[in-house]
C-alpha cells in the first residue's frame, strides 16, 4: 500500500534541503514561463505544508496570445482540478491573475481554458477554443472567491468557485474540440510586463474520476488519507493508496488513525506514518462501519464474516486486536456509535426491509432496542460526548437531513433543512460542533454513493447555518465514522482519485 506521495513526504521530512535543490514540484512535472516574459517566474513547493507558491510576470492572458508563469502536468481524459488560492502582497495591477489553466501546448497562442481570479476580485472562465483566436469569457457573480475548481467532462469544461465556507457557483462551457491529452496546472500572471506577482495555492487536488462504466462496490479508484484543521481549513494528505481505503477513526490517545481496506482493519501510526494490520481473527470481511469506544480500549466493527444469511453483523474486539465477540443477534447491522460510558452500541439495522436505528448492550447481552420507526432510511447514529443525545440522519422528510433524539429514542428533532443531502453527523469531543457529509441535490436522498463531488460541512451542536469546511471528491467511505482528533482541532477523512 505504499505510494509515491508518501515516499516523497518521508524523503523531505528526513532531508528538507532537497526541496529547493531538486525543485520538486509535488503533483506537477514541469514549470515554465509561457510567452516572452521580461522576468523569469518560479514555482516553489513545500512538501511539509503541501503548499505551492508561484511568482511570475507577463503582460496578459488575453486576445490571441498569453504571457504568464505555468506549473503543469499532462492529463488525459476527464479530470477535476481544485485549490484554495490567494495573491501574496497588495500587488500592482488590479488585473493580475491566478487560477487553473488547461492548454493544448506551451505556445503563447495555444487553445486553452482557464478559471481565473483577478487582483480586483473579478472572476471568470476564459477560453480560446482554437489556436490563435481571441479569448472569450463568462464572468462570475462572486467577487474574489478563494476556492477555484476547473473540471473537464467530455467536451465540456466547468468552472466552480466559492468563497471558503459557501457552496460552489458553477458554469459550464460546452463544445471544446480539444485533444485527449492536455497540459493542466496552476498559473500566475502580473498583467504588467515590468512586475513580478506572487500567488499561493493550498489544498491542491488533481482528481481523476473513475471510468464512466465503473460498477459501484466492485470497481474502485485510489484514496488519500487526509487530515484537516477545522479552524483554518488547511488540509494535508498523510498517505495515498492506489486502492480503496475508507473511514478513518482517530484514536482518543492521539496516536493512531484506524481505517478499513479490502475487508481488513489497518492502523496508521501518526508518529512515524507506519501502517499495520489490526488483527481481527476470522473477521476478514469488515466494512466501513467501525467505531472506537470513548475510552479507546475497544473497537466495534461491522463484518460480513459470520453467518451469510445475516450479512453485516456487529462485533467488538480489543483495540489492539483479538477474537471478535458477536454483539447483534440479527442482521444486517451497521455500527455507528458507542455510548460515552461504554455500555451501549447504536447501529442501523435492516428489519422487515426497513432501515432504522437500534441500540444494544455492548456486552452482547439482552435484546436490541428499536429507537426509530420510519419507512424511509435512518442511519449514522452517534452519541454526544456527554451522552445526552444521539445524532443521526434521516430521509423521512423526503431529503436526507440531520436529526437528534434522546438516548431512549424520544424527542426526535430535525437540525438541518436545505437542498443538499446530509449524512453522518460527527460531534467534536468538546461538544461544540457537528461535522457531516453533504451530497449535491441530484443524489437520491437514501443513497450515499462513492466518487461524487461532496462537501464536508459543520454546524453548532444545537443547529444553525451550515458552513462548508472541505470541498472534495469522495462520498461513501469518506467520513462514515467518528474521526475528530481528541483536542477537537482536526478531522480525518478520505478523498478519492485514480492515482499514477
CATH number for position 190 = 2.60.120.200
Q: Tell me the mean pLDDT in the region 3-21.
A: 47
Q: Is 202 in the same domain as 240?
A: no
Q: Within this chain, do residues 19 and 90 fall inside the same structural domain, yes or no?
A: yes
308 pLDDT band, cuts 50/70/90, is: confident
415 part of a folded domain: yes
Structure pTM? 0.95
Are the beta carbons of 286 and 256 closer than 8 angstroms? no
Residue 429 resides in a domain: yes
Mean pLDDT for the stretch of residues 253-279:
98
Residue with cell 495515498: 240
How confident is the model over 423-466, as pLDDT tens digits? Answer: 999 999 999 999 999 999 999 999 999 999 999 999 999 999 99
**Region 178-198: what's the mean pLDDT?**
98
Q: Are residues 396 and 470 in the same domain?
A: yes
Pair 34, 108: CB distance under 8 Å: yes
Q: In what helix (H) or strand (E) does residue 6 lie, and over which residues does it extend?
A: helix 4-14
CA 411 to chain CA centroid, nearest Å = 33
- Whether residue 252 sits in one domain with residue 192: no
Position 268 in a domain: yes
Note the pLDDT of residue 500: 79
Domain boundary among the residues 161, 182, 207 is at: 207
- pLDDT for 17: 42
Say yes or no: 203 and 313 in one domain: no
Computed over every residue of the chain, the mean pLDDT equals: 95
User: Residue 4's pLDDT is what?
Assistant: 53
Mean pLDDT for 10-34 is 68
In a domain, 215, yes or no: no
pLDDT of residue 15: 44
Residue 19 has pLDDT above 90, yes or no: no
479 inside domain? yes
Indicate the pLDDT class of residue 307, thresholds 50, 70 and 90.
confident
Grouping H, G, I as helix, E, B as strand and the rest as coil, residue 471 is: strand
- Residue ending a domain, choose from 184, 207, 230: 207
For the segment 323-375, what is each residue's pLDDT rounded down to a tens digit? 999 999 999 999 999 999 999 999 999 999 999 999 999 999 999 999 999 99
List the beta strands (DSSP E) in 77-146: 79-88, 97-103, 112-118, 123-128, 136-139
On whether both 400 and 478 belong to a single domain, the answer is yes
424 and 397 belong to one structural domain: yes
Q: Domain check: are 339 and 473 in the same one?
A: yes
Task: Answer yes or no: is pLDDT of 1 > 90.
Answer: no
Q: Give me the domain span that covers residue 366.
A: 222-497
**Using CA atoms, how far apart are residues 246 and 268, in angstroms rounded to an integer?**
12
Domain match, 246 and 280 both: yes
- Looking at the fold, whether 368 and 409 belong to one and the same domain comes out as yes
Is 213 inside a domain boundary? Answer: no
Beta-bridge mates of residue 361 = 344
One domain, residues 184 and 254? no
So what's the pLDDT on residue 306? 84
Q: Which helix (H) or strand (E) holds 387?
A: none
The answer on pLDDT for 13 being more than 50 is no
- Is residue 116 over pLDDT 90? yes
Among the three residues 183, 207, 231, which one is the final residue of a domain in this structure? 207
Task: State the DSSP code for 309.
Answer: G
Residue 477 in domain:
yes
How many domains does the chain contain in total? 2
Task: List the grid coordinates of 85.
Answer: 488560492
Residue 322: give its domain's CATH number. Answer: 2.120.10.30
Determine the pLDDT at residue 323: 97
Go through 196-207 and write b for each residue having 16 or more CB atoms within 10 A of its CB, e for each that does not: bbbbbbbbbbbb
Residue 161 has pLDDT above 50, yes or no: yes
DSSP secondary structure of 169-237? EEEEE------SEEEEEEEEE-SSTT--EEEEEEEEEEE-PPPTTPPTTT---EEEEEEEETTT--EEE
| pLDDT at residue 22, rounded to an integer | 46
What are the pLDDT digits (tens) for 198-244?
999 999 999 999 998 999 999 999 999 999 999 999 999 999 999 99
- Residue 18 predicted with pLDDT over 50: no
Q: Let me know if residue 168 belongs to a domain.
A: yes
Q: Check whether residue 250 and residue 127 sit in a common domain.
A: no
Q: Please give the pLDDT value at position 309.
A: 87
Amino acid at each position: 500500500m505504499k505510494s509515491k506521495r508518501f515516499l516523497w513526504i518521508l524523503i523531505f521530512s528526513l532531508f528538507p534541503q532537497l526541496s529547493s535543490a531538486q525543485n520538486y514540484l509535488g503533483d506537477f512535472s514541469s514549470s515554465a514561463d509561457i510567452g516572452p516574459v521580461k522576468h523569469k517566474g518560479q514555482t516553489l513547493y513545500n512538501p511539509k505544508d503541501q503548499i505551492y507558491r508561484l511568482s511570475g510576470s507577463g503582460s496578459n492572458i488575453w486576445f490571441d496570445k498569453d504571457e504568464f508563469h505555468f506549473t503543469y502536468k499532462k492529463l488525459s481524459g476527464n479530470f477535476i482540478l481544485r485549490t484554495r488560492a490567494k495573491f501574496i502582497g497588495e500587488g500592482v495591477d488590479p488585473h493580475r491573475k491566478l487560477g487553473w489553466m488547461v492548454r493544448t501546448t506551451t505556445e503563447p497562442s495555444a487553445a486553452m481554458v482557464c478559471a481565473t481570479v483577478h487582483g480586483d476580485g473579478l472572476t471568470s472562465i476564459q477560453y480560446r477554443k482554437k489556436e490563435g483566436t481571441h479569448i472569450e469569457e463568462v464572468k462570475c457573480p462572486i467577487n474574489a472567491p478563494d476556492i477555484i475548481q476547473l473540471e473537464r467532462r467530455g467536451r465540456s469544461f466547468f468552472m466552480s468557485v466559492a468563497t471558503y465556507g459557501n457552496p460552489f457557483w458553477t458554469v459550464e462551457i460546452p463544445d471544446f474540440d480539444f485533444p485527449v491529452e492536455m497540459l493542466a496546472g496552476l498559473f500566475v500572471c502580473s498583467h504588467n510586463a515590468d512586475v513580478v506577482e506572487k500567488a499561493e495555492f493550498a489544498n491542491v487536488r488533481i482528481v481523476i474520476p473513475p471510468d464512466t462504466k465503473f460498477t459501484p462496490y466492485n470497481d474502485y479508484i485510489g484514496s488519500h488519507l487526509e487530515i484537516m484543521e477545522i479552524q483554518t481549513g488547511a488540509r494535508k494528505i498523510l498517505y495515498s493508496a492506489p486502492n480503496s481505503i475508507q473511514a478513518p477513526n482517530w484514536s482518543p490517545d492521539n496516536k493512531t488513525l484506524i481505517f478499513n481496506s479490502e475487508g481488513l482493519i489497518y492502523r496508521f501510526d501518526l508518529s512515524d506514518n507506519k501502517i499495520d494490520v489490526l488483527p481481527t481473527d476470522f473477521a476478514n470481511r469488515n466494512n466501513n462501519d467501525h467505531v472506537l469506544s470513548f475510552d479507546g480500549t475497544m473497537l466495534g466493527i461491522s463484518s460480513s464474516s459470520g453467518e451469510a444469511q445475516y450479512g453485516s453483523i456487529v462485533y467488538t474486539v480489543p483495540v489492539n486486536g483479538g477474537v471478535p465477540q458477536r454483539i447483534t443477534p440479527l442482521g444486517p447491522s451497521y455500527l455507528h456509535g458507542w455510548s460515552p460510558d461504554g455500555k451501549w452500541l447504536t447501529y442501523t439495522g435492516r428489519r422487515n426491509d426497513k432501515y432504522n436505528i437500534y441500540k444494544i448492550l455492548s456486552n452482547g447481552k439482552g435484546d436490541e432496542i428499536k429507537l426509530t420507526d420510519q419507512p424511509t432510511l435512518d442511519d449514522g447514529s452517534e452519541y454526544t460526548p456527554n451522552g445526552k443525545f444521539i445524532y443521526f440522519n434521516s430521509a423521512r422528510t423526503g431529503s436526507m437531513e440531520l436529526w437528534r433524539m434522546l438516548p431512549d429514542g424520544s424527542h426526535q428533532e430535525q437540525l438541518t433543512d436545505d437542498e443538499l443531502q446530509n449524512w453522518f453527523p460527527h460531534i467534536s469531543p468538546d461538544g461544540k460542533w457537528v461535522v457531516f457529509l453533504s451530497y449535491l441535490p441530484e443524489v437520491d436522498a437514501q443513497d450515499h454513493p462513492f466518487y461524487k463531488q461532496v462537501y464536508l460541512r459543520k454546524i453548532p451542536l444545537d443547529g444553525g447555518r451550515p458552513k462548508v469546511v472541505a470541498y472534495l471528491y469522495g462520498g461513501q467511505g469518506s467520513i462514515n465514522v467518528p474521526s475528530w482528533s481528541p483536542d477537537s482541532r482536526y478531522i480525518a477523512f478520505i478523498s478519492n482519485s485514480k492515482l499514477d
